[in-house]
Amino acid sequence: MGDQMTETEYILEESLDPEDWEAMRALGHRMLDDMLDHAKSLREHPVWQHASQDVKEHFSGAAPLDPQPPEEIYKEYLKFIFPFTLGLNHPRFWGWVGGTGTVMGALAEMLATSTNAVSGAFSYISPNYVEIQVVDWFKELLGYPTSASGVLTSGCSASNLIGLAVARNSKAVYDLRREGLSAAPQLMTLYSSQEAHSSVNKAVELLGLGGDSLRSVPVNDDMQIDLGELEEIIANDRQNGHLPFCVVGVAGTTNTGAIDDLNSLADICQRENLWFHVDGAFGAWAAIAPESKHLVAGMERADSLAFDLHKWMYLPYPIGCVLVKSEEDHRRTFSLVPTYLAHGEGERGLTGVDVPWVSDYSFVLSRGFPALKAWMTIKEQGVRKYRRIIQQNIDQANYLAALVTSQPELELALPVSLNVVCFRFVKDGLDSKGLDQVNKQIEIEMQEQGIATVSTVSIKGKNYLHAAITNHRSRREDFDLLVREVVRIGQGLFHEINGIGNDGG
Ligand SMILES: Cc1ncc(COP(=O)(O)O)c(C=O)c1O
């Protein structure tokens, strides 16, 4: 042995691995069984359950100093966490614009985290190839050229921020990245409709452009950006010495699912030398349904396209994507390579010449392996089925709209343009304030009773119930039930509050 240390001379070192591998294996199997049983029986459960004060109070107290047995932690999860999630995976969740998740996607997440995989950086690792392949699939499906660049993101808010950052830097008339906005010779202005998502406003603020530089353009009767008004506002800004640089078109607004006239916006941008960014958070996916793809015609002409995979592609949260037509513009906005992140040098090793890094196209460096759930689910289902399910949701929206129209006590806000239905309970004798209150209360009752989750939106100053159908588990019978229950709850509330908000007094 001489001077060599024997094994017994090493100090005792610890790790975070299970102390009892067999017990952990049994617990893991149980978790998986519970997970699959629940997914299979979702219809038998309420969409949502109100977490009580006890539940809230359970999550207080200091960080645990000592270990707790894994079985006990799982029991705590089952009691205090599992029953009280939002219910996005339920067949009758249609509030805001959610997504449903897939079983294969959940399993893929487990696999991705089991190797603590990262993607989007380093070379000669498969996760990068998976990510590149899924982004290529999105280009193909959404009509984008293969030469475009793209990255997976945490969602459409991040995608809008990235797309607009590239727009800002590429259209600036000086080196904005180096000199900053304080060196701008002119106010840089951009345009979106009043119905655009708040993440566009936030992106503009975060980019230092100032909220007012985003001109909020009125909409027409179909809730699309008013093209005449847009052109007038652009002309006015030019006359005032400003620099219009970008138009944001929306493929599927959050409120009503309205799709801007994307071809006309592309024409205006071409004529005016403006960047054309499309927020297609969910609506972009109409492009893959043969009967509906005409609705988003012109989207493929965008300079940058932001969309989600956790909404209408049904993948488990979080996952979105942004595509940029000019790879060079995209890279010029984000690439910054200190020596400790040097890559693309040499033929071999983890930093060799292989694939681009996500940090050259985003503000993000470290992230997990979001592509795996997309890759595994899309392979499991196939694009043909996705096409049918997207169309199924659009058909369901029209089915729901027809049900609403056939009910004297319900009123449709406006014709359905995609997969969003906005409607309300109406009753003679209730003034507009009373109607707003009743419909808000219907939303709450539906949620509290666990029947269905719809949200409310304000359209032209009136409250409407809002069902955004991005749900692969919904069936027509679910919409029959929704309509029945809205009428039942509405009538009950009407009787209860009769006299409050009643024109007749
Ligand atoms: C049109 C639109 N854009 C952007 C977003 C933001 O997307 P995310 O929640 O994935 O960040 C949403 C969310 O509902 C949306 O509807």
pTM of the model: 0.95
150 lines ligand 1 (CB under 6 A): no
- Residue ID of nearest Cα to ligand 1 atom 12: 281
- Per-residue confidence band for 345, with pLDDT thresholds at 50, 70 and 90: confident
pLDDT tens-digit readout, 438-452: 999 999 999 999 999
**Number of other CB atoms surrounding residue 204 within 10 Å:** 25
Supply 301's token pair.
């002409």
Angle between helix axes 21-40 and 103-114 (nearest 10 degrees) is 160
Tell me which residue has its CA closest to atom 11 in ligand 1: 157
Supply 281's token pair: 């958070």
Which atom of ligand 1 lies nearest, measured to the CA of 159? 11
Q: Tens digit of pLDDT for each residue in 154-184?
A: 999 999 999 999 999 999 999 999 999 999 9
Type of residue at 411 = E
The answer to whether residue 202 scores a pLDDT higher than 70 is yes
pLDDT at residue 505 greater than cutoff 70: no
pLDDT tens string 2-46: 455 556 678 889 999 999 999 999 999 999 999 999 999 999 999
For residue 78, the CA-to-ligand 1 centroid distance in Å is 30
Give, in degrees to the nearest 5, the angle at Cα 256 between 213 and 86: 100
List the residue whose alpha carbon is closest to atom 16 of ligand 1. Answer: 254
State yes or no: pLDDT of 504 exceeds 60.
no
> What pLDDT, on a 0 to 100 scale, did the predictor assign at position 346?
81
Report which of 255, 162, 161 is spatially closest to residue 199, judged by C-alpha positions: 161
Pocket flag, ligand 1, residue 197 (CB < 6 Å)? yes
Provide the pLDDT for residue 73: 98
Supply the residue whose CA is at minimum distance from atom 14 of ligand 1: 97
> From the CA of 153, how far away is ligand 1's center (Å)?
12
Q: What is the Å distance from ligand 1's center to 315 Cα?
A: 15
- pLDDT value of residue 157: 98
Residues 246, 234: Cα–Cα separation, whole Å: 10
**What confidence score (pLDDT) does residue 503 get?**
46
Give me the pLDDT at residue 6, please.
Answer: 59
In the predicted model, is pLDDT for residue 304 greater than 70? yes
Q: Closest ligand 1 atom, CA of 320?
A: 10
Task: Tell me the CA–centroid distance for residue 281 and ligand 1, in Å.
Answer: 5
User: Is the CB of 155 inside a 6 Å radius of any atom of ligand 1?
Assistant: yes
Predicted confidence (pLDDT) per residue in 468-486, tens digit = 999 999 999 999 999 999 9
Q: Give the Å distance between the CA of 488 and the centre of ligand 1.
A: 32
Of 418, 395, 402, nearest to 474 by C-alpha is: 395
Average pLDDT on 363-386 reads: 97
